[in-house]
Amino acid sequence: MRNILLVEDTITDGQFIKQTFSEINKYVNIEIVNNEETAKKYLQSNPSFQNAIMADLIIIDLMNSCLKFIEFIKSDSNLRRIPVIILSSSSDNEYINNCCSLFANAFIIKPKEKERFIEIINAIDNFWFKQTRLSSIPK
């Protein structure tokens, strides 16, 4: 089973991504949180997330606090090995460059068309869970 932490502040997008992943790959579990602080608590195994499972992949769509959150992940020796994908409606080059300079593993511009969105989710699943070998967190 592969685990995705989806940090998505739009409820309908989060549910669509989760549903689409479950249709594409039944071996993917997605935990959705809607802000940076909740995501940090999840990743730090805060007691409020008693059943939290460490993420194999983090997908983020947080325009305002995304950069601080990437910096948090990549500065933590236990979290930095987790690939981070930015899935954003922004196509601002400065924002894209800033995300990548903080070591986001990919930046994908969120499409408006449902069919294209499904293609992107399928591509994420194929690349990160079928083509790529992900590292494990040392115990």
| Backbone dihedral angles phi then psi of residue 121, each to the nearest 5 degrees | -60, -40
pLDDT digits (tens, 9 = 90+) for 50-108: 566 788 999 998 776 788 899 999 999 889 899 999 999 888 999 999 988 999 999 99
The residue segments making up the domain with residue 35 are 2-131
pLDDT at 136 over 80: no
pLDDT value of position 139: 43
Rounded CA separation 127/37 (Å): 28
Rounded CA separation 120/109 (Å): 10
**Maximum mean pLDDT: which of 5-14, 41-50, 125-134:** 5-14
First to last CA, the chain: 18
How many structural domains are present in the chain?
Answer: 1
Is position 78 within any domain? yes
Return the percentage of the chain with pLDDT > 90, whole number: 52
Neighbours of 9 (CB within 10 A): 16
**Residue 104's CATH number:** 3.40.50.2300
Task: Band the pLDDT of 46: cuts 50, 70, 90.
Answer: low
Strand partners, 8: 61
Is position 138 within any domain? no
pLDDT at 116 over 70: yes
Q: Are 3 and 49 contacting, i.e. CB atoms less than 8 angstroms apart? A: no
Average pLDDT estimate for 115-125 = 94
Rounded CA separation 49/68 (Å): 22
